[in-house]
Amino acid sequence: MSLSVKYLLDFIPKAGEFLEVVDGVYLLRMPLPMQLDHINLWLLRDHNDWVLVDTGLFFPESVAVWKKLAQDLIAPGQLKRIVVTHFHPDHVGMAGWLADTWGAELIMTRDEWLQGRLRQLDVTPETQSSEVDFFVKAGLFKRDDPQNQTYASRYQEQTSAIPRVFRRIESGDTIDINGEDWEVITGGGHSPEHACLYSNKRDILISGDQLLPRITSIISVFGAEPDSNPLSVYYASLKNLRQLPEDTIVLPAHGLPFERLRERVDYILAHHDERLELLINNLESGKRAVDLLGTLFDRELDFFQSTFATGETIAHLNYLIHQGQVMREENEKGEWVYTRT
């Protein structure tokens, strides 16, 4: 190993800078124009070439950083493969631009590629209105409120055109990088078929958003699949990752690399269990999802944060419905009302 994780804590690269974290594995911090102000990309040496894991959001600062890297680090033709963990815009956003610039091949799971392509192409008013309808049922939006029109997906503007041709990876596949096998470990809950990469030889996990230090991954229900149970899928995925060796070094998409993977998994499981408990305790009488935001989130939420928080609250409620602990009815306004069974 080039660096211990402890050593790394003192040397966080700034946005746009890179640092070799372990032999042949570079952390590249990319800026994000939001509260979560960075994403970690991982650049892996592959003989004389590079393999990139995740790409950054498609916006002018990312483009500027990548243009500089093209001068300083990655010569024309040297970026041959781009692995994208999942379809979220901060991960896949620059993939099309990078594939065009370097002629690199895009590698993704099929569900993530499909979801990304779908989000770029499906921008009809009807799609928007089904998302709005979901938030009306949650009690967050009022039916026929003109304000609802301002709720629009920004996916298209935050992503360059995702390549039409890609290489599919599935759970259990291995990707050879620099003579080292990286196993593909897929999981759901945060996104449909998120890919992590694991080197058995060195016990390194590139975890994407599936396992993060400090912040927890967003586990949310969306209007397209209002009855889904992503929290249950996420639990299964975390328990799967928990089987990796305890001394695994985790290289996450946000925050700093960390060790003690099982401790972190256990903390996240307990965190969600606690939220389920909080909800159950507040559902003696019927409540809408919007009435429960204050129970789960103790901070001020702006408009967009409220939509995310609502999706997360419904993820926990749907989990409880699937467990038979909560039931959902509809009130006269067509809003969902949840009660303890």
Which of 209, 211, 316, 320 is close enough to bind Zn ion by CB under 5 A?
A: 209
R_g (Cα) of the chain, nearest Å: 21
State the minimum distance, in angstroms, from the CB of residue 324 to Zn ion. Answer: 30
Q: Cα–Cα distances in Å, from 206 out to 5, 26, 184, 268, 334?
A: 14, 12, 10, 18, 43
Q: Which stretch binds Zn ion (CB under 5 A): 12-20, 115-123, 154-162, 205-213?
A: 205-213
The residue (of 190 and 316) whose beta carbon lies closer to Zn ion is 190
The residue (of 111 and 209) whose beta carbon lies closer to Zn ion is 209
Q: Please work out the total of residues on this chain that contact Zn ion, with binding judged by CB under 5 A.
A: 2
39 exposure class (CB count in 10 Å sphere: 0-12, 13-18, 19+)? buried
Q: Which stretch binds Zn ion (CB under 5 A): 120-128, 135-143, 203-211, 257-265?
A: 203-211
145 exposure class (CB count in 10 Å sphere: 0-12, 13-18, 19+)? exposed
Closest to 253 in 3D by CA, of 83, 12, 38: 38
Residue 132 identity (one-letter amino acid): V
**What are the beta bridge partners of residue 180?**
177
State the minimum distance, in angstroms, from the CB of residue 190 to Zn ion. Answer: 6
Q: Which stretch binds Zn ion (CB under 5 A): 47-55, 66-74, 125-133, 206-214?
A: 206-214
State the minimum distance, in angstroms, from the CB of residue 84 to Zn ion. Answer: 11
The residue (of 81 and 88) whose beta carbon lies closer to Zn ion is 88
> Judged by CB under 5 A, does residue 194 bind Zn ion?
no
The residue (of 256 and 327) whose beta carbon lies closer to Zn ion is 256
State the minimum distance, in angstroms, from the CB of residue 194 to Zn ion. Answer: 8
The CA dihedral of 160, 166, 168, 173, to the nearest 10 degrees, is -90
The residue (of 30 and 326) whose beta carbon lies closer to Zn ion is 30
Q: Cα–Cα distances in Å, from 241 out to 154, 187, 197, 207, 265?
A: 31, 9, 11, 9, 8
Q: How far is CA 274 from the centre of its chain?
A: 22
Residue 79-98 contact track with Zn ion, rule CB under 5 A, x = bound: ---------x----------
Which chain residues interact with Zn ion by CB under 5 A? 88, 209
